Amino acid sequence: MTSWFRKILAVLGILFGSFLILIYSITFHPDAAQPADVDCKEGAPILKTDSKIKILVWNVQYLAGKKRVFWYDVPNSDGPDIGPSREEIEETLKKITSYIRSEKPDVILLQELHDGAKNTFQENQLNRILSQIDPSYVCTSEAFYWKSLFVPHPKVLGSVGMKLATISKYKISDGIRHSLPLMPADPISTQFNLKRAILQNDFPIEGGDKFTVLNTHLDAFSQGTDTMHRQVETISGLLKELDFAGHYWVLGGDFNLLPPGFDRKSMHPNGAFFYSDEQEIKPLFDHWNSAIPLDILNGPEKAKYYTHLSNDPAIGKPDRTIDYIFYSSNLRQAGYRVDQSENAWTISDHFPQIGTYVLKN
């Protein structure tokens, strides 16, 4: 090997190594489990054993509203829009915070909040919401599941930041971010992709027990992989641990999965495209309490519990349930509804879920 060829290889090696270091430095690398940020004001009240805990679960679609068809909203990824306007964000923010003030939930689980994202003007959307709701919400916790200073996707070409957030009127003692299994991809693409998670928060209860709330958003666009099976398996493992310890718990979020047995033929082909018939979520229904039983989710009144209103104009109506609340056997569900009111149609591509829970003992 000639000296000039060895020099070229050395230079190429240095350039490639520098490229990998750059990618690693601008992307997000969470541990399998790590502490999640928790912020509580001094003197935050503690749950009582007789508390009725009203929980709002909502994918708020990064405050983008319902006036756009985003590039990922249609099967061939050629939707015309890449982000909302400032005016649309302001309008949606007012509707969301007004809704929270009206419903007065005790605990709020939000998905798809942006923080530092180019297409939503680098704003911290959690802080914006907190600034416009009741000051009785004294505790928050958050966990990122997409974060990079730059994503080279042609529809992004800038910074991203997306997180789960839990907001509470009661004291949160601690938080854990649990990583969910990643979708298969090449090593470089994986660095820029979403890294889905579960945000676990513990709420102390007078007398020494605790109430655990889990907030999550599972993968989308995972057709043809075992990603959803593996993510549900991870969730199941956490729930089994909580059951073994005898804790009260509620799990809520956007699962991006249809109810087991749901007939995809009832959907527009553009919507059915994003799902499989593999019933990946079935283990959760088999072992734990769903806010709405499976026979109802597949029965004649199933439309009352649809949680998703696609931005795809070819679909044009709510046509699926993909957001859920599950809860432990030592809790009693005192109420549950999916809010499909006219106002909710204008806020997000997901409807709010509202459940109320009481400790049995």
pLDDT, tens digit, 9 for 90 and up, residues 247-289: 999 999 999 999 999 999 999 999 999 999 999 999 999 999 9
> Quick check: 348 pLDDT over 70?
yes
The confidence score (pLDDT) of residue 8 equals 73
Domain count across the chain = 2
Residue 228 is encoded by which pair of tokens?
């959803």
Tell me what pLDDT residue 1 has: 59
pLDDT, mean of residues 116-141: 98
Indicate yes or no: pTM above 0.75.
yes
* pLDDT recorded at residue 306: 98
> Phi then psi for 174, rounded to 5 degrees?
-165, 170
Domain residues for the domain of 5 are 1-30
pLDDT band at 16 (very low <50, low <70, confident <90, very high): confident
- Note whether 169 and 288 are same-domain residues: yes
Contact call for residues 279 and 314 (beta carbons, < 8 A): no
CA distance 89 to 48: 37
Instruction: Please name which of 123, 129, 214 lies closest in space to residue 161, comparing C-alpha atoms.
Output: 123
Report the relative pairing of strands 248-254 and 289-290 from DSSP bridges: unpaired
The domain that holds 287 is classified in CATH as 3.60.10.10
Identify the H or E element spanning 233: helix 227-245
4 and 141, same domain (yes or no): no
Same domain, 3 and 75: no
Region 160-183: mean pLDDT is: 98
| 23 and 119 together in one domain | no
Looking at the fold, whether 195 and 120 belong to one and the same domain comes out as yes
The most distant pair of C-alpha atoms in the chain lies apart, rounded to whole Å, by: 81
For 31, how many CA atoms within 13 A lie in the half-sphere containing its CB?
6
pLDDT confidence bin for 155, thresholds 50/70/90: very high
Cα–Cα distance, 126 to 109 (Å, whole number): 11
Gap between the Cα atoms of 150 and 142, Å rounded: 21
pLDDT of 42 higher than 80 = yes
Residues 3 and 82 both lie in one domain: no
% of the chain exceeding 70 in pLDDT: 98
Q: Is 331 left (phi over 0), alpha (psi -120 to 50) or beta?
A: beta
Contacts of 294 (CB under 8 A, 6+ apart): 259, 260, 261, 285
Residues 21 and 44 in one domain: no
Question: What integer pLDDT is reported at residue 3 of this predicted model?
Answer: 79
Across the range 222-251, mean pLDDT stands at: 96
Q: Is the pLDDT of residue 14 over 80?
A: no
* Mean pLDDT of the 111-117 span: 98
Q: pLDDT digit string (tens) for 79-110?
A: 999 999 999 999 999 999 999 999 999 999 99
- DSSP of 38-87: EEE-TT---B-TT-EEEEEEEE-GGG--SS--BGGGSTTS--SBS---HH
Domain co-membership, 276 together with 336: yes
Average pLDDT over residues 216-239: 96
Residues 154, 12 share a domain? no
pLDDT in tens, 318-346: 999 999 999 999 999 999 999 999 999 99
| Both tokens assigned to 53 | 């805990």
Q: What share of the chain is helix, strand, coil (3-state, %, to 5)?
A: 30, 30, 40
Examine the domain organization and report whether 260 and 351 are in the same domain.
Answer: yes
DSSP assignment of 149-212 equals: EEE--TTT-EEEEEEEEEEESS---EEEEEEPPPPP--HHHHHHS---EEEEEEEEBTTS-EEE
131 and 273 share one domain: yes
Write the burial class of residue 236 (CB in 10 Å: 0-12 exposed, 13-18 middle, 19+ buried): middle
User: Do 128 and 25 share a structural domain?
Assistant: no
Quote the mean pLDDT of the chain.
95
Q: Does pLDDT of 17 surpass 80?
A: no
